[in-house]
Amino acid sequence: MTYQFDSLKPELIKQRKAVHQVCRNYRNQPDSTNFKKLKSLFSACGQKVFIEPGFYCDYGDKITIGHNVFFNINATLLDGGKIAIGDDCLIGPNVQILTINHATNPTERLKKENFADDVLIGNNVWIGAGAIILPGVTIADGCVIAAGSVVTKSTEANSLYAGNPAKFKKYC
């Protein structure tokens, strides 16, 4: 479900600046103190979560992460909408998970409105390097998203998707 999202509200700008600083601190000094601060941003964060430096998000409080999740370097989560990541997931380097969109009509876009649509990622999902997950997508349990794929539509469970746009390739 798509909903309007105003990223220019002063309280959201303030929150975004503070969260970006936490992310920068962890990137520059990935010690246990900064890691704890990063994880504290999230709505929920399971056990045995590992996040390589270079992780970025906008707000953090709309992100839930399950148990045994690994984020490789330079993961970007634009979380104006909810991002839920299940248990036992592997997120490759340079993966982008996006919940924000803008009007495609040029006149409407001048209003600077944003639209958010939640992204849900099931359990035991592997998202390969450089993949982009677009707003409103649900990646079902057991899926593999091939490196460099752009996922524009929700997936079937236990399947491999690849390409731009990502298409079903086979059952895993």
Catalytic residues: 102
Residue 36: strand pairing partners: none
Instruction: Give 93's pLDDT tier (boundaries 50, 70, 90).
Output: very high
Question: For residue 156, what are the domain limits?
Answer: 3-171
Number of structural domains in the chain:
1
Determine contact, residues 34/52, Cβ cutoff 8 Å: no
Q: What is the pLDDT of residues 107-136, one digit of tens each?
A: 888 988 889 999 999 999 999 999 999 999
Q: Which residue has the higher pLDDT, 145 or 8?
A: 145
Yes or no: say if 145 and 158 are a contact pair by the CB < 8 Å rule: no
Mean pLDDT, residues 123-152 taken together: 98
CATH number at residue 62: 2.160.10.10
Question: pTM score, two decimals?
Answer: 0.96
Annotate 6-73 with three-state secondary structure: CCCCHHHHHHHHHHHHHHHHHHHCCCHHHHHHHHHCCCEECCCCEECCCCEECCCCCEEECCCCEECC
Q: For the segment 25-75, what is each residue's pLDDT rounded down to a tens digit?
A: 999 999 999 999 999 999 999 999 999 999 999 999 999 999 999 999 999
